[in-house]
Amino acid sequence: MIRTTQIAADRAFDEARTVLPAEVARGVYIENPPGAEALKLMHLLIGKAGGRMAEDVRHELRMADIKKIDGMRNHTRATLRKLFVELRGAVIVFDDTEAQCEIIGGFLDQAKLDYRHDVSDDILVAWWFGRAFREMAEKSCHWAILDRQTVFALSSKYSILLFQHIASLVNLDHITSKTFSVAELRAVLGVTDGKIERFANLNRDVIQPALAEINQTSRLTLTATPHKVGRTVASVTISWEEKPVDQKLEAKRELDRPKVGRKARQNGTAEIPVRAFPASGGIEFDEHWKTTKRAVGCNMDNTMIAEKFRAWCTSKGMALDASNIEKAFSNFCAKVGRI
């Protein structure tokens, strides 16, 4: 049986995605759930460790490398310390069904922030994973492969926790939804007891904002359907589907845009400027249009496809700066196809 650690080792070259044990992705830590920034740090630590996540060894990276990551805050030693405190306090409960016992422990054993060269922003961050996490990772045979850019773009812990949970289920055969009791969904989302108790508030303040954020920045489209027993919502079904190519492309563009204004674009109150198609020449040096072309599998010469598309626009009376010009070009390239 293939282990999660082997998959992580095999994908060590892929810096765009993180292999996460499904046990972590599905929210096995049930007490003291970390906040959004601490969760992002958790993903970074696991991704950095890769296939060695189950080993009792020292892992390390530098503060300067953390600051290069789009979506991570511009951390200082003080802010990073707070995140490690959060992660150190997260409780992991791993049910080892083979041994018929539950393992309860921490995600981290110890972390060190070596600030001898703090003046040059060269803080060395070192950490050791806790025994409970290492045992769980060693035994794990199920995993989630998450797009790091999406995880780092999500702004709330609810969005991150829901996204990583669903990502662990996406590749299971013939499964496109999961029904949670309200209590189970609260646990997945990290909503602690005594907070946001009414379902109407949970739906308005947690579930719907998380769905909107995930749908805006990921390759998936999620929907939530509540189920009532009498007048009380007893369970919620979360369904998901892969976006079509043009919508995946739009999600990637959103990730590449500045985070400022994302909320407005999410709720449709922002005006997004139209990117006009070049009026002459090819698209050899225009990564945006080249990416659009490649995304649908078209391999026609970049100058030829540009000329043919402009001719098609002329025949249809479509301006090169029309509001739907990007979708029109994507559809045109899909029809042209491979040559």
CATH number of the CATH domain containing 168: 1.10.10.10
For residues 194 and 299, state if they share a domain: no
Helix (H, G, I), strand (E, B) or coil at 278: coil
Instruction: Work out the number of other CB atoms within 10 angstroms of the CB of residue 276.
Output: 12
Which of 106, 127, 153 represents a domain boundary (last residue)?
153
User: Two tokens at 308?
Assistant: 């043919």
Distance (Å, rounded) from C-alpha 269 to C-alpha 5?
Answer: 44
Residues 6+ apart with CB under 8 A from 240: 166, 169, 170, 176, 177, 220, 221, 222, 223
For residues 25 and 142, state if they share a domain: yes
Taking only the tens of pLDDT, the chain with its 339 residues reads 899 999 999 998 888 899 999 988 887 666 777 899 999 999 999 999 999 999 999 999 998 888 888 888 788 889 999 999 999 998 888 777 777 888 888 899 999 999 886 666 678 999 999 999 999 899 999 999 999 999 999 999 999 999 999 999 987 878 899 999 999 999 999 998 889 999 999 999 999 999 999 999 999 999 999 999 999 999 999 999 999 988 888 888 888 776 666 776 776 655 556 788 998 888 988 888 988 888 888 989 999 999 999 999 999 888 898 888 998 999 999 888 765
Distance (Å, rounded) from C-alpha 28 to C-alpha 93?
Answer: 6
For residues 23 and 102, state if they share a domain: yes
For residues 338 and 214, state if they share a domain: no
Q: Are 220 and 241 in contact (CB under 8 A)?
A: yes
Distance (Å, rounded) from C-alpha 231 to C-alpha 218?
Answer: 34
Strand partners of residue 93: 104
For residues 202 and 146, state if they share a domain: no
27 conformational bin, left if phi > 0, alpha if psi -120 to 50, beta if neither: left
Distance (Å, rounded) from C-alpha 152 to C-alpha 155?
Answer: 8
Which of 153, 174, 192 represents a domain boundary (last residue)?
153
pLDDT given at position 75: 86
For residues 328 and 224, state if they share a domain: no
Identity of the residue numbered 197: E
Which of 270, 291, 314 represents a domain boundary (last residue)?
270
Helix (H, G, I), strand (E, B) or coil at 107: coil
**Looking at the 3D structure of the chain, how many domains does it have?**
3
For residues 43 and 140, state if they share a domain: yes
Strand partners of residue 114: 124
Of 54, 69, 64, which Cα lies nearest the Cα of 118? Answer: 64
For residues 188 and 147, state if they share a domain: no
For residues 263 and 278, state if they share a domain: no
Residue range of the domain that includes 237:
156-270
For residues 281 and 237, state if they share a domain: no
User: Two tokens at 166?
Assistant: 């669903």
Residues 6+ apart with CB under 8 A from 233: 182, 199, 226, 227
Q: pTM of the entire structure?
A: 0.75
Of 309, 245, 316, which Cα lies nearest the Cα of 279? Answer: 309
Match 């110890």 to its residue by tokens. 110
For residues 1 and 138, state if they share a domain: yes
For residues 198 and 70, state if they share a domain: no
